[in-house]
Amino acid sequence: MNVLLIGGGGREHALAWKISASPRLGKLHAIPGSDAIAGLAVCPPIEQSDSGAILAYALENKIDLAVIGPEEPLARGLGDELASAGIKVFGPSRKGAMLEASKQFAKEFMARHGLPTAGFQVLYEAGYARQRIKENRKYPLVIKADGLAAGKGVRICADEGEALRAVEDLMEKRMFGYSGSKLVMEEHLTGREASVMALVDGNSYLMLPVSRDHKRLRDGNEGPNTGGMGAVAPVRLEDNVLETVRTEVLDRFIAGIKKDGIPFRGVIYAGIMLTPSGPKVLEFNVRLGDPETQCLLPLLDGDILELLSACAEGRLAGKKAGASGACASVVLSARGYPDAPEKGREISGLDDLPEGALVFHSGTRKADGKFVTCGGRVLAVSCRAATPEEAREKVYAAVKKIRFDGMHFRTDIGL
Ligand code: AMP
Ligand code: GLY
């Protein structure tokens, strides 16, 4: 089976690593890939944004399965374009990707199909938004840009002043461009968070081990929100909570996409808040999480291509995702992340890691044969072990071996 992987971050490096271990693999290609992924896949000089060139390349290279990692090409409809040319695609249709690309679409989908989520209103215009905020009595209040904003379009507002500022920044100053043309105003929920990911083939789903991301930059959940500073899996949910997630979130999700006629073969990722009144969906992503993937894939025992192709072909029913042990992943970020990360620092220690330590590259490139930093999140180090405690110990022993100028990481992943 020839596989084309779209994307070039840490999630895709982990996917390339896991796919490479499959006995079904013919040749692996990645667009754009990265210098690290190039150790596992052919990376032609094609931009991720160039759908036409991607399609031509896929046809020329007899691609059997396309695996689309990031949200942006999904939201653009790359999956639909490849699928109409007869290529099997792991990744939802453009309409399915709206569940991530528009918070209004996602909230209305949840309301229509009875998925538990925070109460909300859509704000279409700044004057109206201000009026609704002035009428609001309960703080904190959550205000979100409707569209994609790389995880930065959510404001937890402590008072009216902050809420009004969110309207100004997101809707009037267009901090995230067109994404702020509508806002969603939402009830504030409290509780611990969990990342629930399931493979979906349009009719059935296969739940992956539950994981937990650590979004804030610094220990103790301090500092700004980031794309994710580390992850652990599995996160054990109580039986009744797990049951609610299955029946009220995933079963209703499947019923909803069928009723609405949304073609969906890929991953649904529900960001869940475990509130005192039960689990509620904070948001949907339509792809694997980053860094959750770097933590989940090492846990899976089976052949990933078997699962991905079953999903792309609508034959997921009855499949199992065998997983054992626990895994912890720690992200190493560059000085200045998330605002203005430094680049070009040489990375040392990658050849001297303890046995079993895995390193996935998010933001690196090769210069004179050596890896240097080239992004905010630079690497994720993952270790699998029998227990979460052992995984934590192993991963921090591995992290100690790696160095680059300005390297930062959280020391409390998994605590
Ligand atoms: P999102 O980009 O939608 O994943 O939101 C980023 C983060 O904002 C989430 O992981 C939560 O920590 C927080 N968040 C989003 N919606 C709410 C809400 N309704 N109540 C409390 N926190 C929220
Ligand atoms: N780790 C959060 C995300 O992938 O959106």
- Tens digits of residue pLDDT in 68-106: 999 999 999 999 999 999 999 999 999 999 999 999 999
Is 108 part of a structural domain of the chain?
no
Give the C-alpha separation, 151 to 153, whole Å.
6
Phi, psi of 140 (to 5 degrees): -65, 155
- Tens digits of residue pLDDT in 329-338: 999 999 999 9
pLDDT of residue 225: 87
Q: Do 211 and 167 share a structural domain?
A: no
Q: Do 199 and 165 share a structural domain?
A: no
pLDDT of residue 2: 98
Is 286 part of a structural domain of the chain?
yes
Which residues line the pocket of ligand 1, CB cutoff 6 A?
118, 142, 151, 154, 156, 186, 188-189, 193, 215, 271, 282-283
Mutate to test the pocket of ligand 2, among 214, 283, 285 (most ligand atoms within 8 A of CB): 285
Is 111 part of a structural domain of the chain?
no
Domain boundary residue, one of 269, 290, 312? 312
Is 233 part of a structural domain of the chain?
yes
pLDDT of residue 152: 81
- Tens digits of residue pLDDT in 165-190: 999 999 999 999 999 999 999 999 99
| Cβ atoms 235, 193 nearer than 8 A | no
How far, in Å, from the CA of 154 to the mean position of ligand 1?
7
- Tens digits of residue pLDDT in 112-140: 999 999 999 999 999 999 999 999 999 99
Give the C-alpha separation, 193 to 412, whole Å.
16
Domain that holds residue 84: 3-91
Q: Do 222 and 155 share a structural domain?
A: no
- Tens digits of residue pLDDT in 30-71: 999 999 999 999 999 999 999 999 999 999 999 999 999 999
Cis peptide leading into residue 388 (ω within 30°): no
> Torsion over CA of 297, 301, 302 and 305, rounded to 10 degrees?
20
> Torsion over CA of 232, 234, 235 and 239, rounded to 10 degrees?
180
What is the share, in percent, of the chain residues with pLDDT greater than 90?
A: 98
Chain-wide mean pLDDT for the chain? 97
Which residues, 6 or more positions from 119, have their beta carbon under 8 angstroms from its beta carbon?
186, 187
Residue identifier of the C-alpha nearest atom 5 of ligand 1:
154
How far, in Å, from the CA of 157 to the mean position of ligand 2?
22
Is 98 part of a structural domain of the chain?
no
| Cβ atoms 322, 307 nearer than 8 A | no
- pLDDT band (50, 70, 90) for residue 150: confident
Q: Do 198 and 180 share a structural domain?
A: no
- pLDDT for 237 beyond 80: yes
- Tens digits of residue pLDDT in 320-364: 999 999 999 999 999 999 999 999 999 999 999 999 999 999 999
| Cβ atoms 160, 166 nearer than 8 A | no
Cβ of 238: how many Cβ atoms within 10 Å?
Answer: 9
- pLDDT for 412 beyond 80: yes
Domain count, the chain: 4
Residue identifier of the C-alpha nearest atom 12 of ligand 1:
193
- pLDDT for 151 beyond 80: no
In the block, residue with structure tokens 């199992």: 320
Which residues line the pocket of ligand 2, CB cutoff 6 A?
151, 213, 228, 285, 289-290, 292
